[in-house]
Amino acid sequence: MYPSLSYWERETFFRNIDVAVIGSGIVGLTAAIHLRELSPGLRVVVIERGTLPLGASTRNAGFACFGSISELLDDRSQRSGEEVWALVARRWQGLKRLRERLGDAAIGYEENGGYELFRAEEQATFQRCADHVEPFNRELEHVIGRKAVYKLANAQIPATGFQGVTGLLLNSAEGQIHTGRMMHALWQLARDKGVEMYNGIEITQLETQSDEILLHTEQGWALRCSQALVATNGFARRLLPELDVQPARNQVLITQPIPGLKLKGCFHYDRGYYYFRDVEGRILLGGGRNLDPQEEATDQFGTTPLIQEALIRLLHEVILPGREVEVDTWWSGILGIGPEKAPIIKRLNDRLSVSVRMGGMGVAIGSLVGEEGAEMVLSGT
């Protein structure tokens, strides 16, 4: 049991807070930074349960992606073309904001392209995607101002050494970041902007009162603030069960350094259920959630033999066939997903707002969603 707070601790650290942001992922930190940018006099506090952020932002694959052709075709089967391109625009804008705010060098941004891989049995899908290269390039030019972004890349297949891959499409504007460096830079910027950050505090309950909102903690005491922004993504329902956010676990491995590795860029395999990229001479590989959707619909971290074996097979049989490659380490992260491929950015009452449900695109849209959350909070102060 944590001891009760001293009078000094209670009055100095956890009272008179203008805005408390719950969660220090990309969304929470960006929101806190933006609050101070817009209103430097505000006392902004970020509350994080982990020693480091403990969700998705320090555990993802670092794809700076805004949509592969098959993903956009899939999206288009569920919503209007306008909505699909609007989401692409938001992802592109979000990446631009992230890069502007932190700088490409600090986040390790490299535009090495993103490739979609197709197997022989996916020939019909490949052909459908290939048929959309030209029309999608015309649409995309309006959105991001670049020409001929999508390209057929079958000629590159032999050089990749991939086994069983018969179709390759390139998104030449897709980039990649160093996830760890990006989050460290964001954390550093938050400190520089005068955001107060407290780790190791889990909020267990929110209690809105007429003149303030109380954030009850696992330790047994409460913080008092004027406004609160919940940025807990895949864990949102623990605090707010009414929100339509489902947790979804993703398992990831990274190999030991691979001498002479030539592969560069981000790669999407099997309709995006698997993804891999190069990182400092290694391969990072993740996905496979579709193999066991029920078991993976969890906000508990962990790895399972079923998915680990599938990732290992993919690594040895398709990505680097015939190469001796060892896994350095495994981890998992928790996504927040829902019936719609859009975040929830909403004011729940006079004192409480939420910015959650980033899906698999939080690197891309997290900056915008954080900023919009901050602006929503300010509209209520």
Ligand X SMILES: Cc1cc2nc3c(=O)[nH]c(=O)nc-3n(C[C@H](O)[C@H](O)[C@H](O)COP(=O)(O)OP(=O)(O)OC[C@H]3O[C@@H](n4cnc5c(N)ncnc54)[C@H](O)[C@@H]3O)c2cc1C
Please select the residue that binds ligand X; options are 55, 67, 247, 288, rule is CB under 6 A. 55
Tokens of 312: 């290992």
Q: Is residue 94 part of the contact set for ligand X (CB under 6 A)?
A: no
Distance between CA atoms of residues 31 and 229, nearest Å:
9
Among residues 115, 111, 81, the alpha carbon closest in space to that of 96 is found at 111
- State which H helix or E strand residue 222 sits in: strand 222-230
Return the range that interacts with ligand X (CB under 6 A); candidates 35-43, 50-58, 77-85, 128-136.
Answer: 50-58
Return the range that interacts with ligand X (CB under 6 A); candidates 82-90, 104-112, 290-298, 330-338.
Answer: 330-338
Among residues 168, 142, 140, 174, the alpha carbon closest in space to that of 154 is found at 168
Q: Is residue 311 part of the contact set for ligand X (CB under 6 A)?
A: no
Distance between CA atoms of residues 351 and 213, nearest Å:
6
Please select the residue that binds ligand X; options are 19, 32, 35, 63, rule is CB under 6 A. 63
Phi-psi region of 259 (alpha: psi -120 to 50; beta: other; left: phi over 0): beta
Return the range that interacts with ligand X (CB under 6 A); candidates 82-90, 100-108, 130-138, 234-242.
Answer: 234-242
Question: How many residues bind to ligand X according to rule CB under 6 A?
Answer: 43
Distance between CA atoms of residues 35 and 259, nearest Å:
45
Which of residues 50 and 380 has its CB atom nearest to ligand X in the complex? 50
Which of residues 154 and 306 has its CB atom nearest to ligand X in the complex? 306
Which of residues 232 and 353 has its CB atom nearest to ligand X in the complex? 232
Structure letter (DSSP) for residue 6: P
Q: Is residue 53 part of the contact set for ligand X (CB under 6 A)?
A: yes
- Give yes or no for a contact between 48 and 20, defined as CB atoms under 8 angstroms apart: no
Q: Is residue 252 part of the contact set for ligand X (CB under 6 A)?
A: yes
Distance between CA atoms of residues 262 and 283, nearest Å:
11
Return the range that interacts with ligand X (CB under 6 A); candidates 135-143, 159-167, 186-194, 333-341.
Answer: 333-341
Among residues 293, 311, 304, 308, the alpha carbon closest in space to that of 246 is found at 293
Q: Is residue 223 part of the contact set for ligand X (CB under 6 A)?
A: no
Distance between CA atoms of residues 39 and 46, nearest Å:
16
Q: Is residue 247 part of the contact set for ligand X (CB under 6 A)?
A: no
Q: Is residue 27 part of the contact set for ligand X (CB under 6 A)?
A: yes
Distance between CA atoms of residues 75 and 150, nearest Å:
17
DSSP 3-state of 353? strand
Q: Is residue 106 part of the contact set for ligand X (CB under 6 A)?
A: no
Which of residues 210 and 253 has its CB atom nearest to ligand X in the complex? 253
Q: Is residue 23 part of the contact set for ligand X (CB under 6 A)?
A: yes
Distance between CA atoms of residues 133 and 142, nearest Å:
15
Q: Is residue 276 part of the contact set for ligand X (CB under 6 A)?
A: no
Please select the residue that binds ligand X; options are 114, 247, 366, 373, rule is CB under 6 A. 366
Residue 55 phi, psi dihedral angles, 5° rounding: -155, -105
Q: Is residue 367 part of the contact set for ligand X (CB under 6 A)?
A: no
Q: Is residue 87 part of the contact set for ligand X (CB under 6 A)?
A: no
Q: Angle between the 26-38 and 362-379 helix axes, to the nearest 10 degrees?
A: 40
Which of residues 108 and 360 has its CB atom nearest to ligand X in the complex? 360
| In 206-347, alpha helices (H) | 236-239, 293-296, 305-313
Q: Is residue 17 part of the contact set for ligand X (CB under 6 A)?
A: no
User: What is the closest distance, in whole angstroms, from the C-beta atom of residue 256 to ligand X in the complex?
Assistant: 19
The burial class, CB within 10 Å (0-12 / 13-18 / 19+), for 343 is buried
Q: Is residue 54 part of the contact set for ligand X (CB under 6 A)?
A: yes
User: What is the closest distance, in whole angstroms, from the C-beta atom of residue 48 to ligand X in the complex?
Assistant: 5
Distance between CA atoms of residues 201 and 5, nearest Å:
13
Q: Is residue 202 part of the contact set for ligand X (CB under 6 A)?
A: yes
Q: Is residue 48 part of the contact set for ligand X (CB under 6 A)?
A: yes
Binding site for ligand X (CB under 6 A): 22-28, 47-50, 53-57, 59-63, 202-203, 231-235, 238-239, 250, 252, 286, 333-335, 358, 360-364, 366
